[in-house]
Amino acid sequence: QVQLVESGGGLVQAGGSLRLSCATSGNIFNVYVMGWYRQAPGKQRELVADITPGGSTNYADSVKGRFTISRDNAKNTVYLQMNSLKSEDTAVYYCNAGRISGGTRFNSWGQGTQVTVSS
């Protein structure tokens, strides 16, 4: 089981920026797809961005051009830089580590960090 600890959430005005961090329990980036998901009240959890072991990134259409996912292999940490924040970005953000073995995806989740964007 991979341990994930998020930090960096908070309250910010629309148009502002935040950087989320996800510290992992070890050097897992060569095996796991690392992702950020979010869940707003009354809505399903959705993928925001992810990064593969090879470094390819993928973003939800709603955040393209505003959010950037990155990782620091030396620090075993994944980041989500969020710029030009909008009120609709308000949600609990979760870090995810996923791998596929034998056709099954195994997921580990962090505890989540609240992001609130005021308009």
**pLDDT class of 111 with cuts at 50, 70, 90:** very high
Among residues 26, 51, 42, 54, which one has the least CA distance to residue 91?
42
In the prediction, which pLDDT does 30 show? 86
Question: Could you report the per-residue pLDDT of 25-68, keeping only the tens digit for each?
Answer: 888 888 899 999 999 999 999 999 999 999 999 999 999 999 99
Q: Tell me: pLDDT of 81 over 90.
A: yes
Coil, strand, or helix at residue 112?
coil
**pLDDT class of 76 with cuts at 50, 70, 90:** very high
